[in-house]
Structure 1
Amino acid sequence: MAVPDLTDLEKSIIQQSINERWRNGGIVAEEVEVELRLSKADRDVTACPAMYWEHNGCTFLVAKTGESRYRSQFFYSAKEQFNTGIEEYTDLGDCVLFLLRLQADHESERQQNFPKA
């Protein structure tokens, strides 16, 4: 099953959310392709269009997994990967908003636990 490409509107929603989070941050999401298992039972991976960006050592990814279906995650390394706990979203705005909120909360905790010298 082929996953439809990200539309201009979907790309705009993602970029607008980034711009609101980091005002004047100059962060631009790049269009990429990722391979995902669309269900736990799948043996094969499916190519999915996604948007990717980085900020302060954190990488963000929002992938389209079907018509009006999205997944998101952020990570610092292969060992430090996080998602929102929701397998799949049907609203792209919610998907991006929850991802950005969770990462902001996580970043705040990281700074409290590991303050910079």
Structure 2
Amino acid sequence: MAIPDLTALEKSIIQQSINERWRKGGIVAEEVEVELRLFKGDREVTACPALYWEHDGCTFLVAKTGENRYRSQFFYSAKEQFSTGIEEYTDLGDCVLFLLRLQADHESERKKNFPTA
């Protein structure tokens, strides 16, 4: 099954959310392709278009998994990966917003628990 590419509007929604979160700017999401198992029982992976960006040691990913279907996650390393807990979104704005909010909350907790010297 071929997943449709991200549209200009979808890319714009993601980039606008990034710009609102980090007002200083300079963070530009890059187009990538990721391989995902679309359903729990899948043995094969499916190539999915995605946007990827990094900020302050954290990597973010928003993937399109079908027409009006999206997944997101952020991670610091292979052992430290997080999602919003929602398997798939049908609203891209919600997908990105919840991802950024969860990561901001997580980052706040990390700084409380592991303050830098």
Unaligned segments of structure 2, at least 5 residues: none
Q: Report the Cα offset of residue 68 of structure 1.
A: 0.1
1:39 aligns with 2:39: yes
Q: Name the structure 2 match of 1:112.
A: 112
Cα distance in 1 for residues equivalent to 2:24 and 2:115: 25
SS in structure 2 of the partner of residue 76 of structure 1: strand
Cα distance in 1 for residues equivalent to 2:86 and 2:112: 26
SS in structure 1 of the partner of residue 77 of structure 2: coil
Q: Percent identity?
A: 89
Q: What is the alpha-carbon root mean square deviation over aligned residues?
A: 0.4
Cα distance in 2 for residues equivalent to 1:71 and 1:8: 18
Q: Report the Cα offset of residue 24 of structure 1.
A: 2.0
Cα distance in 2 for residues equivalent to 1:63 and 1:90: 12
Which 4+ residue blocks in structure 1 deviate beyond 2 angstroms?
none
Cα distance in 2 for residues equivalent to 1:47 and 1:79: 23
Q: Name the structure 2 match of 1:82.
A: 82
Q: Report the Cα offset of residue 35 of structure 1.
A: 0.1
CA distances 1:11-67 after superposition (whole Å, capped 9, x unpaired): 000000000000023100000000000000100000000000000000000000000
